[in-house]
Chains A and B, each alone.
Chain A
Amino acid sequence: MTQGGFDEFWDGLDRDLADVDLGLSLEAEGFYSQPEWTVYRMSYNSTDGHRLFAWLSVPHDIAGENTPVLVRMPDYSSVHDIIYTPLRQSAIVMNPTYRGQRNSDALFQASYPGLLTAGLPTGGTPTEDTPTIGIDRHQDYIMRQVFGDALRAVDAVVGQSEFDLGRFVLTGSGLGGSLALAVAARRSVVEAVAADTPLALGHPALIEGNPPYPAAELVDYLRLYPDRSQAVASATEPLNPLLMAPMIRVPVLLSLGSRDRGQCPIAVGEELASLLPQCDLRVYDGASEGGGHEHVQVRGAWLRERLGLG
């Protein structure tokens, strides 16, 4: 992919987002709020008429004083967690969703497996007339819009006026890791990123061999439509985290697991690390997606430091 084509893809996505009014709403959620923090249901608009949902948690003791912000990007799943990180005691924490996930699914319900090839029928025998949407045309590909929804989440929390924001850090695992990296490449407000085994969508190595889901979705697709491999490559290529890496100028904590086959193969992750200007790479022998329990501790300490929570 040419640099010009890559830039046009992302600039075009940002233009699409800029054309949509944010339409932000914040509603306190009494049931899940606790004595130390208030939980909000947050809603905002994204492209194509999608209304997106996020959980937002705001601590009571330091709210209103440049409170640090942690955004946990959603993984490949129909549900994104309500916020439960211990960091909610001291930081504003946002768990945004993308279109198709629960509470952001009024217009489109994603399938799992199925998100990466959304639009294809999942039953019956495909024929030449089998309709597809998206994956053959990167402007329409569902994952372009999913990445746009991640950008929109950061725009939404930055655009709200209820709370003064301090240090701004992103985290995510799998697809969430890739979303976090992409947003860091496109939004200067981001000061650090912790990405666990980021989904290497768009990298050819992701679909080599017999990977598990979600990568297997693309393998399934190409088994039935081998003549469309070039179309799949061109649709996914702009989302390749390796192409975004040189633009991410902030510190990145990157974890890889030696048994992770469906998200970020080790060789791809190491190449990604070499392209990131400030990368702290952690490789865990025997771990799969996320890097395992040891990395949970490492990431927690790293995030605290980056958020200025000591």
Chain B
Amino acid sequence: MATKEDLEKFETQVARPADFEEFWQDVLAQVAKIPLEPKISPDSFRSNEDALVSLATFQSLDGLEVATWYCVPAKGEGPFPAIIHLPGYKGEPSIRRDWGAKGVVHLMVSVRGKLRSNSQFNPGYPGLLTHGIESRDTYGYRGVIADCVRGVDFLLSRPEVDSQRIYACGSSQGGGLTLITSALRSEIKGGVSGYPFLCCFPESMKMLRSYPYDELSCYARAYPERVPQMMETLSYYDAVNFVGLIKCPMVVGIAMDDEVCPPETSYAAYKGLGGPKELWLFPNSGHGNAHDYPAKETQWLESQISASLTLGVSR
């Protein structure tokens, strides 16, 4: 199990490419040109007394239609604060009707490759982490990140959403995507990143022999001559290269015995955060199983939402 000292001693070798911001500004510009074309299909089967549930879709990069679970409070009048929830690597996007009971809109994005968003892009699990890794312009995560950005656009397009009170959260890959999306979209006012994946690729693929990072090691073993290009691509997608751009309050939660996302690499992301930050360390916990994490995540988001009301942030 890692110690706090281990985390503090760790120095990543990840370097930010000189044209990193330029690259992502270009991607964002390409995304912005695509008509959102939102479609909302109410799901009476899943709706209950707390939330009206819909399967909502929108257009994203490369002409893909991205699906989401969209939960709007069943009671009260909007505009409501909103949470964009970003998914883990292989887990199922969830329907969080419990946020509806709290008067909060919840959007769970099923990024490309996941169920309901995989008709045109379906590299599989394993598979996604190395898909198109030969170039920064073909890497699968370019589209995945665009889908998350597009989720923010979707929330901003909704009259029932308070555009000044949008928050982000997610665990594992969702934790990494929370950091990256918050860096790219200043409309996000705060976030919780649990057990973040996508941090410090060069070290993560060497520190552990568990998937998904092991996909990179398999690729390196199969194509040793392509490793320099792989590392070049990954440098554009490493969350530690994004975190300095985040200005909103952000929490990073780390399990000290995380066997999937090395705690040192998550800490490197925390260390680089550019705005107000909070660190939650969970000793005797592994990937995704810290007992107190779900409750702490909910409480923190609730407190941010309440504070924004007190400060009169709502429009």
* Contacts from A to B (Cβ < 8 Å): 30-32, 34, 77-79, 81-82, 84, 102-103, 109, 111-113, 120-126, 213, 220-221, 223-224, 259, 286-288, 290, 292-294, 296
Contact = CB atoms under 8 A, between A and B. Distances in A.
A126 B45 CA distance: 8
Interface residues of B, number: 35
A283 to B, nearest CB: 13
Given A77-B92, A123-B55, 16 more contacts: A34-B218, A82-B125, A84-B209, A84-B210, A112-B115, A113-B46, A113-B95, A122-B55, A123-B41, A213-B95, A221-B45, A224-B45, A287-B291, A293-B257, A293-B286, A293-B289
Interface in B264-291: 284-286, 289-291
B126 A32 contact: yes
A78 B289 contact: no
Contact of B92 (A31, A112, A124, A296): A112
Q: Which of B209, B221, B222, B289 has the most CB of A within 10 A?
A: B289
B17 interface: no
A84 B214 contact: yes
A79 B126 CA distance: 10
22 contacts: A30-B222, A31-B222, A32-B218, A78-B115, A79-B90, A81-B90, A81-B211, A82-B211, A102-B125, A103-B124, A112-B115, A113-B92, A113-B95, A121-B45, A122-B45, A123-B45, A220-B45, A220-B46, A224-B44, A259-B291, A293-B257, A293-B290
Given A31-B218, A79-B125, A126 B95 contact: no
B292 interface: yes
Q: Which of A123, A124, A224 has the most CB of B within 10 A?
A: A123
Nearest 8 CB-CB pairs, A to B? Answer: A286-B291, A112-B92, A293-B286, A79-B90, A84-B210, A293-B285, A79-B125, A293-B289
A81 B125 CA distance: 8
Contact of B286 (A79, A288, A296): A296
Nearest to B257: A293
Given A111-B115, A112-B115, A122 B46 contact: yes
B42 A123 contact: yes
A79 B113 CA distance: 11
B211 A292 contact: no
B48 A77 contact: no
Given A77-B90, A111-B115, A223-B48, A123 B95 contact: no
A120 B46 CA distance: 12
Contact of B211 (A84, A111, A220, A286): A84
A77 B291 contact: no
A293 B284 contact: yes
Contacts of A77: 90-92
Interface string B204-226: 00000111001000110110000
Interface in B204-256: 209-211, 214, 218-219, 221-222, 255
Given A102-B124, A287-B291, A126 B284 contact: no
Contacts of A32: 126, 218
Contacts of B285: 292-293
B215 to A, nearest CB: 8
A225 to B, nearest CB: 10
B138 interface: no
Contacts of A102: 124-125
B94 interface: yes
Contacts of A125: 44
A220 B90 contact: no
Contacts of B42: 123
